[in-house]
Structure 1
Amino acid sequence: MTQRTEATAPTAPEPPPDDTPGNPAPPSPLAILGLLLGIILATLDGTIVGTALPTIVGDLGGLGHFSWVVTAYLLATAVSTPIWGKVGDLYGRKGSYLISITVFLVGSVLCGLAQNMEQLIAFRALQGLGAGGLFVGAMSLMGTLLTPAQAGRSQSMIGVMLPVAMIGGPLLGGFLTDHLDWRWVFYVNVPVGAVALLLVGLLVQLRGERRTARIDFAGAGLLTAGILALTLLGTWGGTTYDWVSPQIVGLALLAAASLAAFARVERGAPEPVVPPRLFRDRNFTLAQVLTFLYGAAMMGAASYLPQYMQFVRGMSSTESGLLLLPLMLGMMGAQLYIGRAVGNGGTYRAYPIAGGAVATAGALALLTVGVDTATAVVSALTFVLGAGLGCLMQPSLLITMNSAELRDMGAASGTNALLRTIGGSLGVAVLGSVYTGRMTDSLMDRLGPDGERLAGGELTPALLHDLPEPARDAFRAGVTGGLHGVMAGTAVLCALTFAASWLIREVPLRSKTPQPPESSA
């Protein structure tokens, strides 16, 4: 197989952006650490707040609006992610990254100072706007400074941080809330962000000329509308509103119409937010499909396995998080191994194929879990699912960066981050609907109308012990049935990744930094 050819330069090329690498030598480890710290901020803050929310609501009030503390952050992050990527491509990736960290830190401090729920929601939205540029900024800078062949180990660390934040975030949030104050959930970002600003500002050296171009406001507006509709659909569907309610159907139609119009606008835009040329590369398109699917599978499993651990096995919130460590270790181990293997000259096509198969087997294995299955067995089975997901995550990042040209590095990483976010949001929503439906059916079969009321109530693991024994047994069986539904859906998602992975071509990773055409100016 021959290596992918670079795009032909236009007859009147534009000047390169201000981060054209003047030296292909890789940056120092401290510079890479500065980029990784930004990703730590972005991934950790998406999960650390959850365990602090009950205390926050008790302090600030506003119980009816507390879900918007999470939703406002997710909406702002999803909307701003592709826009940050394109702004970096046009006006400089280093400056864009530093600005996004600054916005995130300002939002974090203001969240810690919030005096009521309305202020907190507004400041969380500001924090989310900054968070949208953290992951995409770090990824695009790595794609600029490192060739894909060099970036394997560094990108494996990025993949490791996702499961660490997913499991470790709630644990850290609970610790800070219990032993300090809930406001430290936000203040803890400040020292980490300050170090990232210092390292990137001093050690990441880029040079070149800024490109003069107009921002695609029409494309950005349509993409924002589509993402808002999809995120709200994923947040409200099956919970706040029924899936066939006018609100959810209207959001689905708005999302479809906005994204269809966005695709038409992007084809004619001089500098599109998401360049259609990226999707002409088959490997790039397949990498985004894998990212969407594994994002849905990962977030779905991580969201509903703790329910089983707490309600059926009687674990506390902290214990249920610790019992999911094998899931995290499986993802971490697979990504570290792949990063090292690819960095030493190995190929990558076999990993997503194997990952899809292993993840499917892991999800199916969890279908054997029953009410009386030993906790250690359940915990160990999650390792198989985690290892399979890890084999999907790392190659998707590598293929994305290897398939994009230098001028589109920010847009490519922004697209990848966006699809993972949307996949996770929709995965939690759809699999959550399956979970609730299976649990409700099981409870109604055992308890009749009382079962439906029990499924719809806000039952906590502590309150479960106050129920009569028949009701407790029925509820545990219902939760187990709901988990089986989630794992069946996860297996379907992973099987789709297995099928899609066979279409990937083994295109050699670039071994030198791509150079843009010389400026005619």
Structure 2
Amino acid sequence: MENESKQVSQASKAANPFMAASSAKKTLTLVGIYIAVVGSIVQSSTLSTLLPVAVSEIGGLDYYSLASTLSGIVSVAVMPLWGYLGAKNPAIKRPLFTASLLVGAVVIFARALAPTMMALVVPSTLWGFVSAGIFVLGYSMIRDMYDQKRAGTYLGACGTMMAIGMLAGPVMGGFIMDVASWRIVCHVIWPILLVGGLMVFFGVKATKEEAAGMASASGKFDTSGTIAVVVFLAALISGLSLGTSFAPFGSMASNALFAVALVALVALVLVIRKKQGDAIIPATALKNRNTLSFGIANFFCMFSNMAVFFFLPMYVITVMGHSATEAGLVTTVYSFVGLFLSPILGRMIGKAGNARGVLSFGCIMRIVVAGALLLFVAPDANIFVIYVIMVVAGCYNSVQSSAFSAGPQIQLPADIRVQGNSLIQVGQNLGGSIGTAIYTVILGVMGVVDGMPVALTVSIITAACALVFALRLRKLAD
């Protein structure tokens, strides 16, 4: 029996050239992915403070949130494409990952030079390439290199990397913005992305022929479906984000945007019905219970999260009158728990083979934290009370980073793992983009002071929706 087990293990490694690679190459790839994760999170964790500070210098208050929301449109298109290409040819994941990180470095460098808010917004739309590279390709590359148990641990450690990025980003970024400039922050971030991308490029690699046994059969990429989903999101997010400024709700421009969004949505549904498994949102993957549950839960978790993560630092600056450094600490303390909890949660998910318990706990904590903020956030609130609440919020932050990195790699069948994971990450980007747009409308119409309680109430409702779908997760059958 022992000999048979060894033979099976050797055969598995032969069919998987990434698992058979040297430890040094695996480590180089793994560390490169971790560095990319840190750089990505430093960017996202400083953005909620950086944009209001940039507005004070270059203007653009009415539409600055587009710098965050529009990147989600590109992510929604690129994630399925990267998932499709990675499933068809696993050997291409490495160069695609590197290319994605190089695009991200260029985006942040261009942002540093932006003379106007529009010049900052336009290149920021391409940030979606980074999200696709890390969350679709990077995570699946870790799974390719290691068995289920070790992959669960290493994928859980991605949560630690996120925590490091969120700890370093806001404090470092806020301090640099206070003593120097928001542009200097950008010049700190883009080299991190560049290093991560290059390390992966020189890490584990294989030829198309060597990885042929891992490739999944798939048809042509769904171009028409991609166009439909991009038009739908672009029109919807633009209509919501600009509804209180350039395209007021009820105006001809606003009505036209929402009409275009509706037509594109209908077209997308028709494409999915016609192409089934070959659609940009594959019907075959959607029929998988765990893929659908992870995807919808990720959407609602991210939707809920944006009320706190993106808008609370703005509230601290504009309403409570604190500095960028103090506002940055709001998201910094949010990351303390993740330094030690994320790897533990990753191992728990890997050992149990199911993220249901971990993710359900996170959703409940999300409801509790949003409720506490609803009670205590006010213009004259003690900033240290908010810090304490955000430390507790770190529990669900750790859960989100661990559950959606380790869970899909363990609970999705191998033949749909890459594409299924891309759909789950699309859910995250949709939740972030649409959630930010909705909260922008709420705060724009009601004002920041009166709108924040409403935004937090919406956050509680969407967290409860996430909990419903977290409870639907099932262990993958052997």
What's the offset of the Cα at 1:492? 1.2
Displacement after TM superposition at 1:243 (Å): 4.8
Distance 1:185 1:247, change over 3 A: same
Distance 1:359 1:194, change over 3 A: closer
Quote the residue 2:403 is aligned against. Answer: 395
Kept after mapping to 2: 8 A contact 1:235/1:425: no
Structure 2 residue 221 is the aligned partner of structure 1 residue 208: no
Aligned to 1:495: 464
Is the 1:331–1:388 contact (alpha carbons within 8 Å) kept by the matching residues of 2? Answer: no
* Counterpart-to-counterpart distance in 2, 1:43 and 1:75: 19
> 1:305 and 2:327 equivalent?
no
Tell me the CA shift for residue 329 of structure 1: 2.8
1:287 counterpart = 2:282:
no
Q: Which residue of 2 aligns with 1:460?
A: none
- Structure 1 residue 78, shift from structure 2 partner: 4.2
Residue number in structure 2 paired with 1:264: 270
- Please give the alpha-carbon distance, in whole angstroms, between the structure 1 residues aligned to 2:387 and 2:240: 28
**Aligned-pair distance for 1:311?**
5.3
How is 1:100-499 mapped onto 2 (pairs within 5 angstroms)? 100-112=100-112, 121-126=121-126, 128-129=128-129, 132-162=132-162, 165=165, 168-177=168-177, 182-206=182-206, 207-209=210-212, 214-238=220-244, 240-269=246-275, 271-310=278-317, 313-330=320-337, 334-344=341-351, 348-369=355-376, 371=378, 373-435=381-443, 440=446, 455=447, 479=449, 481-499=450-468
Q: Describe the SS at the equivalent of 1:507.
A: coil
Partner of 1:3: none
Contact kept, 8 Å, 1:323 with 1:379, in 2: the verdict is yes
Q: Does the Cα contact within 8 Å between 1:148 and 1:398 map onto a contact in 2?
A: no
Contact 1:231 1:422 in 2 (8 A): no
Work out the number of aligned pairs and report it.
452
Counterparts of 2:71 and 2:322 in 1: how far apart (Å)?
29
| Alpha carbons of structure 1 residues 181 and 105: separation in structure 2 relative to 1, 3 Å | same
Counterpart code for 1:208: A
**Counterpart among 9, 17, 21 of residue 16 in structure 2:** 21
Distance 2:377 2:99 in 1: 50
Could you tell me how far apart the structure 2 residues matched to 1:405 and 1:347 are? Answer: 13
The CA distance in 2 between the partners of 1:276 and 1:402, in whole Å, is 21
Deviation, structure 1 residue 369: 1.3
1:322–1:174 CA distance, 2 compared to 1 (3 A): closer
* Residue aligned with 2:362, SS: helix
Q: Which amino acid aligns with 2:188?
A: V
Instruction: Judge conservation of contact 2:158–2:401 (CA < 8 Å) in 1.
Output: no
1:284-317 per-residue CA deviation (whole Å, 9 max, x = no partner) reads 1111111001101111112333344345654222
Contact 2:235 2:260 (8 Å CA) reproduced: yes
Partner of 2:7: none
Q: Which secondary structure state, in structure 1, belongs to the residue aligned with residue 220 of structure 2?
A: coil
Q: Determine if contact 1:273/1:411 at 8 Å carries over to the other structure.
A: no
- The aligned counterpart of 1:10 is none
SS at match of 1:205: coil
* Deviation for aligned residue 1:138: 0.9
Structure ID, larger Rg = 1
Question: CA 1:425–1:61 in structure 2 vs 1: closer, same or farther (change >3 Å)?
Answer: closer
Quote the offset at 1:279 in angstroms. Answer: 1.2
Report the TM-score when normalising by structure 1.
0.73
In the alignment, the residues of structure 1 paired with residue 439 and residue 43 of structure 2 have an alpha-carbon distance, to the nearest angstrom, of: 23
Q: How many angstroms apart in 1 are the aligned matches of 2:27 and 2:96?
A: 21
Question: Contact (CA 8 Å) 1:149, 1:345: kept in 2 or not?
Answer: no
CA distance 1:341–1:24, shift in 2 (3 Å): same
Q: Secondary structure at the match of 1:188?
A: helix
CA distance in 2, matches of 1:34, 1:369: 41
Instruction: Return closer, same or farther for 1:78/1:346 CA change in 2, 3 Å cut-off.
Output: closer
The alpha carbon displacement at 1:246 in A equals 4.6
Quick one: distance in 2 between partners of 1:397 and 1:149?
Answer: 14
Structure 1: segments with no counterpart, 5+ residues: 1-18, 441-454, 456-477, 511-521
Pair 1:124–1:396, CA change in 2 (3 A): closer
Q: Against the structure 1 CA distance between its residues 208 and 260, is the aligned structure 2 distance closer, same or farther, given a 3 Å change threshold? A: same
Q: Which residue does the alignment assign to 1:466?
A: none
Residues 346-382 of structure 1 deviation map (CA, whole Å, 9 limit, x = unaligned): 7532222222222222222223216465433332223
1:344 deviates by 4.7
Partners in 1 of 2:223 and 2:44 — Cα distance?
28
What is the TM-score when the length of structure 2 is the normalising length?
A: 0.79
In the alignment, is the contact (CA less than 8 A) between 1:79 and 1:228 conserved in 2? no
- Please tell me whether the aligned partners of residues 97 and 197 of structure 2 are also in contact (alpha carbons under 8 angstroms): no
**1:319 Cα offset (Å):** 0.9
**Separation (CA, whole Å) in 1 of partners of 2:150 and 2:265:** 35
Matches of 1:495 and 1:483 in 2, distance apart? Answer: 19
Counterpart of 2:33 in structure 1: which amino acid?
L
Counterpart-to-counterpart distance in 1, 2:457 and 2:41 = 27
Structure 1 pair 335/252, CA: closer, same or farther in 2 (3 Å)? farther
- Structure 2 distance, partners of 1:495, 1:194, is 38
Question: Which digits, 9 at most, give the CA deviation of each residue in 1:208-243, with x for residues without a partner?
Answer: 248895332222222222232233244334565455
Q: Which runs of 5+ in 2 are unaligned?
A: 1-13
Check conservation: 1:234, 1:428, Cα contact below 8 A: no
Of the candidates 34, 37, 55, which is equivalent to residue 35 of structure 2?
37
From 85, 89, 101, the counterpart of 1:87 = 85
More divergent stretch after superposition (488-497 vs 214-223): 214-223
Give aligned-pair identity as a percent. 22
Matched to 2:432, the amino acid is G
